[in-house]
Amino acid sequence: MQLKILVWLSLVFSPSLMALPALSVVEVEQGIYVHFGQHQFPNKTNHGAIANIGFIIGEQCVAVIDTGGNPEQGYALKKAIEKITDTPVCYVINTHVHPDHIYGNIAFKQPNVKFIGHKNLARAMATRSHYYIDKAAEQLDVHLLAKDIIAPTKEVKRQLMIDLGNRKLMLTAHPTAHTDNDLSVLDKKTNSVWLSDLLFVKHIPVLDGSLKGWLKVLNQLEQHDYKTVIPGHGAVVRDWPKSMQPEKQYLERLLIEIRAMLAKGQFIEQAIEQVGYSEKSKWLLFDKYHKRNVTSAFAELEWED
Ligand SMILES: [Zn+2]
């Protein structure tokens, strides 16, 4: 009897379980749950858990969409799913390579779970994993091993339809935009699309792919009549494409101002100090990412025809 109590106590109060924070999720459409990240720069306090992550429930399967900024957040997401449904997780969909979206993958590694990503995702993971693992320890106090970065077992070249049981999801692999491995998820049942970091709301857009490519993708997405749109950072959007305009304007401003500087033969240093500052008051974390965005955009536009 005493032994049983001890076993029970050690299970209930084991450090790993106690340390696991409950993850808040909101049902934004029938069967679509989102945990909304805070607008913060990844650091040792938030351990990189800053992105919107979540899941979609069908009659036979659950699809997880992004797993969080560290393994613990992945386990917390798993626990949040189990609280809501007995339906098994069949798919983990990673929307792109950024650490705040993929570091919880290990929590879902099971033989019957398929990991799905853009055709370029595995390559991006392989190229960046050493750097990412070092940075995670240094900047986030998150200690990862190579095995925690789980590459897709199923790659999307252009589009892939998966069925969760009376619920079809259309996965689209986009041309280079926010990154070179952006994948969006359209839930046909509710006409909701999970754009992840193709859309930033209030949090300044972060450019790690192609400025021109991203604007092109936004112009295509703008033609659709989505009911609900889930960004990678920021609140859910129900007035598409209105809430996307600030992001489009920010990216267009970079494009116009950098092209003008290049035409005058000006240099990247000047661009970093001058381009896009009229946008500053519109965005959170502007000081953390804007100069980097200009640097990246300048390098891209410098070589255009
Ligand atoms: Zn991202």
Q: How far is CA 104 from the centre of its chain?
A: 12
pLDDT of residue 267: 96
Give me ligand 1 centre to Cα 23, in Å.
Answer: 21
262 with 301: CB under 8 angstroms?
yes
- Please give the average per-residue pLDDT across 214-241, as a whole number: 98
Which residues does 101 contact at the CB level (< 8 Å), separation at least 6? 51, 53, 66, 67, 68, 69, 94, 95, 196, 197, 232
Looking at every residue in the chain, the average pLDDT score rounds to 93
The C-alpha atoms of residue 99 and residue 31 are separated, in whole angstroms, by 26
Higher pLDDT, 122 or 22: 122
Comparing 84-88, 145-149, 164-168, 237-241, the range with the smallest average pLDDT is 145-149
Q: What is the C-alpha separation between 217 and 211, in angstroms, rounded?
A: 10
* d(CA 159, ligand 1 centre) in Å: 20
What pLDDT score does 19 carry? 56
Give the whole-angstrom CA distance, residue 216 versus residue 25: 32
- Interval 258-275 mean pLDDT: 97
Domain residue extents for the chain: 17-239
Report how far ligand 1's centroid is from the alpha carbon of 27 (Å).
23
Mean pLDDT of 14-36: 81
Q: Per-residue pLDDT for 18 more than 60? A: no
Query: Residue 57 phi/psi, 5° resolution?
Result: -105, 125
Q: How far does residue 288's CA lie from ligand 1's centre (Å)?
A: 14
Model pLDDT, residue 94: 98
- Percentage of the chain modeled with pLDDT above 90: 92
9 has a pLDDT exceeding 50: no
- Omega of the bond leading into 42 within 30 degrees of 0 (cis): no
Whether the predicted model's global pTM rises above the 0.85 cut: yes
The pLDDT assigned to 250 comes to 98
What CATH number should be reported for the domain whose range is 17-239? 3.60.15.10
Residue 284 has phi, psi (to 5 degrees) of -85, 145
CB-hemisphere CA count at 13 Å for 141? Answer: 5
Which residue bears the tokens 């399967």?
61
Q: How far is ligand 1, taken at its centre, from the CA of residue 90, in Å? A: 24
Q: How far, in Å, from the CA of 20 to the mean position of ligand 1? A: 25
Distance 268 CA to ligand 1 centre (A): 24
Hey, what are 200's tokens? Answer: 């930033």
What is the tens place of the pLDDT at every residue in 32-43? Answer: 999 999 999 999
- Backbone φ and ψ for 285, nearest 5 degrees, come out as 65, 20
Task: Quickly state the pLDDT bin for 20 (edges 50, 70, 90).
Answer: low
Q: What is the pLDDT of residue 236?
A: 98
